[in-house]
Structure 1
């Protein structure tokens, strides 16, 4: 059953999307993502390591290389949120791996692909999608200046992971390509012999993490995270190592709030190299079209039983459909003037 065929996933996803849209300052504008509205698309190449094909038979881990499309983004649903605003933390990084065609038939509408969606934090605030919806509702009901204890304060009393998540969002990176990103869900990698391992992905910048102190953020421009990106791309410095932390037998794979110990084995799966920023005239159209999906859609990689995963997938897909419809309606209104 797909994410958009499960009625429970659909209803919870609708609630989460609606909550995101309703809690943005001024309301998330139509035609934009309700979260991660501000972003930029790039293209490049993924080159796997030799060990990757021993862990999974997924084609992008066994071919010499595959093309990729990637998007760096802020977190809010307001595309004009300044990069100096803590509400934009921790930032997102999504990658689409373009896979070989199954056949050459003209009936095949879309090139096969699979995605990785990651955030600039290993933490996620809740264990279940229903808790996450309550977290959003409590946040919306606790504006600045509200009398204490606010609904959010009450929620955090019984959800220490959510409290830790909020308190940890205080690191401003030098740029979008200077911080580690975590794909927080666990996934099962299955090799050609049927041997499987649960892993969690991380995307680590080849040049290392670079953060700014509070005094350095003051005076930075509203788009400072992206300002140096063209120079970095031209110099070949937008490069990440995709690594996998491998779970032990007793590690939880269905709870996104439980981090695995740092002592777990980490293997390098390949290199993500981004060498082209989509031209400005293509950015808006392509950002509207592309819908990244955290659910793996390829042989050799399977989802874990994490309850957040199918609802998150449904929310992304539903939001993408709504965004496309809103953009079409906007174009029609402009043409009718």
Structure 2
């Protein structure tokens, strides 16, 4: 996962990381956004027709192991899991090699679309939050006001019954080199359910969590390079397979307690996945750079913690 060669993009991404950390006063050994999270493990089984859309190996082999992360939004590491402010995240890593270094990641959240369409707009948002000037930001970015008023999610008290959406569009390529733009949609098998706190407390904690992995296919005229543009729900949805979560990441799986929870860096760009390609959404490279920059900072501080612990 390399840093971008574009110096302006790298400068913007560096400034974003520092501004987000300042906004939430996030320690450097935590993510600047989605700071609180939990790794879980499971597997993916493809739908029988998925390979018609994409030649990606995850759609032709019987199953693929997964490492996933549920998270709460913002850089506040103590944000309650059932808090009603902010969005939630769900990142999925398809492990493509035994050492885990080759992988394909899907990054989603439970909100529709996104608040801004560029890295510069994203930086303006966090500067406004830091400086308590959100009214000025919303005046400058009218869509941001619409997003916050109309596209913020209604919370479920269980992550298992949330619906998840990829922010960006990607492109399938099949064996015949036919292309089709799409956005990921992850839907719980039992349907989206907005539990009360009391009902959520009664849910089983031992059963596997299952989702349908679906692709919302772009139609003619749909904007594929702008994350703020939500596509119509009348678009075709293709069944791509099933995601099963069957256990938590155990702290004794070859890592010091909590280390991998902080070390893992999910990548919004499919670098190792034939059959899935990026769109020209300008936010993709920015997000990837921000994740890598913050991940490197996080890993450096984790290593310092380990060295201090063994002294």
Superposition TM-score, scaled by structure 2 size: 0.91
Corresponding residue for residue 140 of structure 2 = 158
Corresponding residue for residue 102 of structure 2 = 112
Farther off after superposition, 188-197 or 169-178: 169-178
Does structure 1 retain, via aligned residues, the 8 Å contact 2:110–2:153?
Answer: no
How much does 1:302 deviate? 0.7
Does structure 2 retain, via aligned residues, the 8 Å contact 1:86–1:170?
Answer: no
**Matching residue within 251, 264, 283 for 2:222:** 251
Q: Which whole-Å CA distance do the structure 2 matches of 1:265 and 1:64 have between them?
A: 25
Unaligned runs of 5+ in 2: none
Corresponding residue for residue 6 of structure 1 = 6
Tell whether 2:272 aligns with 1:292.
no
Farther off after superposition, 173-182 or 151-160: 151-160
Does structure 2 retain, via aligned residues, the 8 Å contact 1:90–1:169?
Answer: yes
Corresponding residue for residue 106 of structure 1 = none
Does structure 2 retain, via aligned residues, the 8 Å contact 1:97–1:113?
Answer: yes
Alignment CA distance shift 1:228-1:130 (3 Å): farther
**Matching residue within 26, 34, 37 for 2:35:** 37
**Matching residue within 218, 230, 234 for 1:263:** 234
Corresponding residue for residue 191 of structure 1 = 174
Does structure 2 retain, via aligned residues, the 8 Å contact 1:3–1:9?
Answer: no
Corresponding residue for residue 146 of structure 1 = none
Aligned length: 306
Q: Which whole-Å CA distance do the structure 2 matches of 1:164 and 1:84 have between them?
A: 24
Partner of 2:61, secondary structure, is: coil
Unaligned runs of 5+ in 1: 102-108, 143-150
Q: Which whole-Å CA distance do the structure 2 matches of 1:49 and 1:321 have between them?
A: 36
Tell whether 2:90 aligns with 1:93.
yes
Does structure 2 retain, via aligned residues, the 8 Å contact 1:175–1:228?
Answer: no
**Matching residue within 123, 129, 151 for 2:119:** 129
Corresponding residue for residue 239 of structure 1 = 210
Does structure 2 retain, via aligned residues, the 8 Å contact 1:185–1:306?
Answer: yes
Q: Which whole-Å CA distance do the structure 2 matches of 1:19 and 1:158 have between them?
A: 19
Q: Which whole-Å CA distance do the structure 1 matches of 2:57 and 2:148 have between them?
A: 37
Alignment CA distance shift 1:301-1:169 (3 Å): same
Q: Which whole-Å CA distance do the structure 2 matches of 1:305 and 1:211 have between them?
A: 35
Q: Which whole-Å CA distance do the structure 1 matches of 2:299 and 2:115 have between them?
A: 29
Q: Which whole-Å CA distance do the structure 1 matches of 2:33 and 2:221 have between them?
A: 34
Tell whether 2:71 aligns with 1:79.
no
**Matching residue within 324, 327, 331 for 2:299:** 324
Does structure 1 retain, via aligned residues, the 8 Å contact 2:111–2:153?
Answer: no
CA deviation vs aligned residue, 1:1-46 (integer Å, no higher than 9, x gap): 954333232111111111110011xx10221111111111111110
CA deviation vs aligned residue, 1:243-264 (integer Å, no higher than 9, x gap): 0011113211100001111111
Q: CA RMSD in A?
A: 2.2
Corresponding residue for residue 305 of structure 1 = 280
Does structure 2 retain, via aligned residues, the 8 Å contact 1:3–1:310?
Answer: no
Partner of 1:211, secondary structure, is: coil
